[in-house]
Structure 1
Amino acid sequence: MVAADLDVTVDLARSLLEEQHPDLADRPLQLVANGWDNVMIRLGDDLALRLPRRELGAQLMRNEHQVLPLLAPRLPVAVPDPVRTGVPSPALGYPWPWGVVRWADGVAAATVPATERTPWAEHLARFFVALHQPATDDGRLSAVIDFGDVTSGDPASDLGTMWLTFDAEGRKRFRRVVDAEARDGRGWDTGMWRRAQGWALLYTTICFSYPDTHPIMVRVGEHAVEQLFSEGA
């Protein structure tokens, strides 16, 4: 686990709500996850708090708060666009922005056997088709989360998840949808998919970075290595 710059607790979350969103402060709170960048705390039945635990996570949170309200109406699945935002609290010693998002029921893909993920391939592909649209002049998945690293860049960095998430059949379905629908039906060239393999290899090395605290990511990495080598990457 990446060391936290600040210990984020349920008590701190409650105090932040009481200070900034008192109408939500009486809801039950349940710690769900301590991620690399953020702590996730469920808020009642339908909401969740995302609170940065380190400075880098705070910058990613600012990115999400800026872009997700613009992206959410254009995407075919739920994303964690904020329904409320929080600000740093000098009184409570919490120095970063934070947010309240809608709770998305579901399970992490990494906890599901690869062969059972195949039916999701077309849905995830269509999500990326929608995401990778050129900017306009003015500007059945449950959800896709963690948009802190969002930027204008190479779509291959997103498509690399194909090897981390799916088996050969799932990748076939995923690519078929992307090739048929991306860029108004023009799809992507071979170079895009080769770069996507390179991104997948990079992500795989990250998966092995914290085996003691994130063993499930090690399994994701092992799956990706197997899939990449099966294609001679």
Structure 2
Amino acid sequence: MRTREKYGSPGSAAMRDDLAVKMHADQLDVSAEVVAALVAEQFPEWRALPVRPLPSTGTVNALFRLGAEIVLRFPLQPRADPELRAELLREQEHARLLGRHLPIAVPEPLGLGEPGEGYPGPWTAYRWIPGEPIHPDRFGDLDAFARDLAGVVTALHAIDTGGRAWSGSGRGGPLADQDGGVRSALASSVQLTDTARLAEVWDRCRAIPRHEVADVWIHADLMPGNLLVRDGRLAAVIDLGAVDVGDPAVDLMPAWNLFDAGSRETYRRALGVDDATWERGRGWALEQAINALPYYVETNLVMAAIARRTLRAVLD
């Protein structure tokens, strides 16, 4: 079970309390010295820039700041097969596409690194985006933020798909396809949350038929850590690794992982979604959170706290 991470400032509240704890059995720790050597070899124009690691709640990549303008992302579970390289290239292609259409910043690709001494897989470079991930308990006007985010989501869903449909993997397909994983996670979470009530909500949501309209471009991972704030407003939507064409209900997840009851309703009204789409969105929020909770309950306290918040909200 993996979620994503930010390209902007880590923010003290978003840092893991114990960075030595490994989240994945096959996780590889990479040092700043190894990163500096890879940069010097593959991007000699950057070799004089200082490298420093960035504490992060992210679960997919180790982050390093390179100078003032660049952030490097090294997958925690690297592999040298072509599939991962294609995945990273696809993420950069999506960044360029969304950058042309969205009204706020998205990550700007600067380069793709290759395997080298000390690190056996590809890695990426993006331009640094100033900002902090939103912290709902410390944010002043969640209603305004909900409207801002709804505007971004509306613009995203309006991008021409060229007739494409869901790719067949990841979020965005039939919610019922996630039933096995959700039930397994519920069974692993009996001591962590109200699994009986959550199972009832899941049964209701997964029974709703998939949308009948055409698939749209979706971010598919609108977690609080992927929404950067600057000067009290939404400044950037980041981490585009899950971007795909699929069910627009997936991008309703912030209604439960971020917003309170009032701003949740503001988000719904601003997007103008019908009851069936809303309930599928609730199902996607539940699916993400119930998988995250047992996996990260001891290794990533911030991700576990977001999962608990989400699960409480889906029961409202």
Q: Tell me if the contact between 2:136 and 2:259 (Cα under 8 Å) persists in the aligned partners.
A: no
CA change 1:195–1:137 in 2 (3 A) is closer
Q: Post-superposition shift, 1:24?
A: 1.4
Identity of aligned residues (%): 33
The counterpart of 1:162, out of the listed 243, 255, 260, is 255
**TM-score, length basis structure 1:** 0.83
**8 A contact 1:86–1:99 mirrored in 2:** yes
Find the aligned partners of 1:117 and 1:32 in 2 and give their Cα distance.
Answer: 28
Match of 2:101 among 70, 74, 97: 74
Gaps of 5+ in 2: 1-22, 165-232
Superposed counterparts of 1:100-139, under 5 Å = 100-109=125-134, 111-113=135-137, 116=140, 118=142, 119-135=144-160
**Of residues 185, 191, 198 in structure 1, which corresponds to 2:283?**
198
CA distance in 1, matches of 2:253, 2:286: 8
Aligned match of 2:35: 13
Partner of residue 182, structure 1:
none
User: Residue 65 in 1 paired to residue 64 in 2?
Assistant: no
Q: Is the 8 A contact 1:121 1:174 kept in 2?
A: yes
Q: How many residues align?
A: 219
Select which of 108, 111, 114 maps to 1:85: 111
Deviation at 1:80, TM superposition (A): 1.5
Cα 1:114–1:27 shift into 2, 3 Å? same
Classify the secondary structure of the residue corresponding to 2:36: helix
Deviations 1:98-138 (A, max 9, x none): 222122222223x4407646131111111111111252659
* Aligned residue in 2 for 1:41: 64
Spell out, residue by residue over 1:16-65, the C-alpha distance to the aligned partner (whole angstroms, 9 max, x if none): 11011112122222211463221111122222111222148655423212
SS of the aligned residue for 2:299 comes to: coil
Compare 20-29 and 123-132 and name the one that shifted more. Answer: 20-29
Specify which of 62, 66, 75 is matched with residue 52 of structure 1. 75
Matches within 5 A, 1:203-222: 203-208=288-293, 209-222=295-308
CA-atom RMSD, angstroms? 2.4
Partner Cα distance (2:315, 2:249) in 1: 19
What is the TM-score when the length of structure 2 is the normalising length? 0.63
Instruction: State the one-letter code of the partner of 1:18.
Output: A
2:136 and 2:311 map into 1 onto residues whose CA distance is: 17
Aligned amino acid, residue 51 of structure 1? F
Output one character per residue of 1:50-93: Cα deviation in whole Å (capped at 9) or x when no partner. Answer: 122214865542321222112112112211131x2123234x25
Distance 1:3 1:157 in 2: 29
* Matched AA of 2:73: R
Change (3 A) 1:38 1:164: same
| Partners of 1:79 and 1:143 within 8 A in 2 | yes
Q: 1:155 to 1:138 in 2, by over 3 A?
A: closer
5+ residue gaps, structure 1, are 180-187
More helix by share: 1
Query: In structure 2, what is the Cα distance between the partners aligned to 1:89 and 1:216?
Result: 31
Distance of 1:7 and 1:97 partners within structure 2: 14
